[in-house]
Amino acid sequence: MNPDLDRLQPYPFEKLAQLKRGINGNPDKPHIALSIGEPQHEPPAFVLQTLASSLGLISRYPLTRGSGELRQSIVNWLNRRFSLPDTLLDANQHVLPVNGTREALFSFAQAVINRSKPASVLMPNPFYQIYEGAAFLAGAEPVFYNTTADTAYLPDFDAIDAATWEACQLLYICTPGNPTGSVIPLAQLQALIDKARQYDFIIASDECYSEIYIDEQNPPPGLLQAAVQMGQMGHDSLKNCVVFHSLSKRSNLPGMRSGFVAGDASVMDQYLKYRTYHGNAMPPAHQAASISAWDDEAHVQHNRELYRQKFQLAGEILSPVIDVKMPDAGFYLWLQTPMSDTEFTRELFAQQNITILPGQYLSREANGINPGQNHVRMALVAGVDETREAASRIREFIERKL
């Protein structure tokens, strides 16, 4: 067996199940799960109709690169969403449909890491654990950069030394962040692109939460947007820049497993070669349904409005008893706890029958700290009424502890 498999840590939800073992949630209250970031809003009916009406396409083998119509739909969406020039992206060179960002974020490292020399993969801490596993199984070493309250949960790339940059072949960013909800500003993205070109590493920007944000007039910027604006100042390509997007959160379609990777044409060419052997072509019916989703924004705006309602509710109910910092984007509350995050999680489950996720399960010890400790992640994915009920129970729990 591949010895690197032994380096993989248990997934956060395995640790959570172990933490809850032997504890019964309060039987007088129905269980509310805020631990998993699985959208619970209704998927758009018109997408499901397209999916159903396209099932006859199952008789065809799909292309690894996806249909031309889907790739063009993705290009059109990127151009609209990030104000890109219409002539920038070529649907044949810059875009690949994938079966959700999870598989793509993992497989991407396998394709781009040069195993002939020592390699580091930099990633945020706390983080999405797929980044770490991808590094290990690509034969590279994960290197964590902490995101803490001191920097508003943003990375401090200036604190990374030259030797670390020299060893870096791939850097993951997550903006908006999971679990922190922080959005990396355009200027910081551009400074990072300069670093990538100076030290010749690839930036993999996980932007799957980019369409869930509070201020309708200020959507989170993206890496390609940052690169294009630099092009006006002497940079004329998407070199070293690759982004990952998904319909799971944007369109409440987590089970359809549909997303895309886009960016640097030379990188995408090699990634297509990898994927041709990997055998992860998107089913044709999913491609047809994805086109209808990427082509529509009304359902996405409605989705955002539901999240705004829930964040406002949660903030109003919880703020009197705990410091609630609203995220820039995404659907998580990342709260500092008045006790150990694991103790908070266990006791909340026992007393209020609510499941949340301890922050330390989403991070690693790095530079002398575990930045997830004494934090918890709450996914506001349930309905408005259930969110109100959950927030009220959490407030009651905290009031009793204080």
Q: Is residue 231 predicted with pLDDT exceeding 90?
A: no
Let me know: does 395 contact 318? Beta carbons within 8 Å: yes
Considering 259, 280, 296, which residue would you say is the last residue of a domain?
A: 296
262-291 pLDDT, tens digit per residue, is 999 999 999 999 999 988 899 999 999 999
We report the CATH number of the domain holding residue 287 as: 3.40.640.10
Percentage of residues of the chain with pLDDT beyond 90:
97
Structural domain that includes position 322: 3-42+299-401
What is the rounded average pLDDT of the residues 211-240?
Answer: 86
What is the rounded average pLDDT of the residues 77-106?
Answer: 96
pLDDT number for residue 254: 96
Interior/surface letters 103-116, b for 16+ CB within 10 angstroms, e for the rest: bbbbbbbbbbbeee
Residues 29 and 110 in one domain: no
Amino acid found at 299: H
Q: What sign does the dihedral 250-239-283-278 (CA atoms) show?
A: negative
The Cα–Cα gap between 176 and 330 comes to 6
Q: Is residue 233 predicted with pLDDT exceeding 60?
A: no
Residues 82 and 216 in one domain: yes
Let me know: does 330 contact 4? Beta carbons within 8 Å: no
Residues 138 and 225 in one domain: yes
End-to-end Cα spacing for the chain: 51
Residues 307 and 380 in one domain: yes
Mean pLDDT of the chain: 96
| Prediction pTM value | 0.97
Residues 155 and 271 in one domain: yes
Considering 273, 296, 319, which residue would you say is the last residue of a domain?
A: 296
312 Cβ contact partners less than 8 Å away, ≥ 6 residues apart = none
What is the rounded average pLDDT of the residues 128-156?
Answer: 97
Domain count, the chain: 2
Residues 383 and 265 in one domain: no
79 Cβ contact partners less than 8 Å away, ≥ 6 residues apart = 85, 86, 88, 89
pLDDT number for residue 236: 61
Residues 276 and 371 in one domain: no
Residues 50 and 160 in one domain: yes
Percentage of residues of the chain with pLDDT beyond 70:
99
Residues 202 and 131 in one domain: yes
pLDDT number for residue 232: 53
101-117 pLDDT, tens digit per residue, is 999 999 999 999 999 99
pLDDT number for residue 186: 97
Kind and range of the H or E run holding 357:
strand 357-358
295-320 pLDDT, tens digit per residue, is 999 999 999 999 999 999 999 999 99
The Cα–Cα gap between 56 and 53 comes to 7
pLDDT number for residue 215: 93
Residues 311 and 239 in one domain: no
Q: Is residue 369 predicted with pLDDT exceeding 90?
A: yes
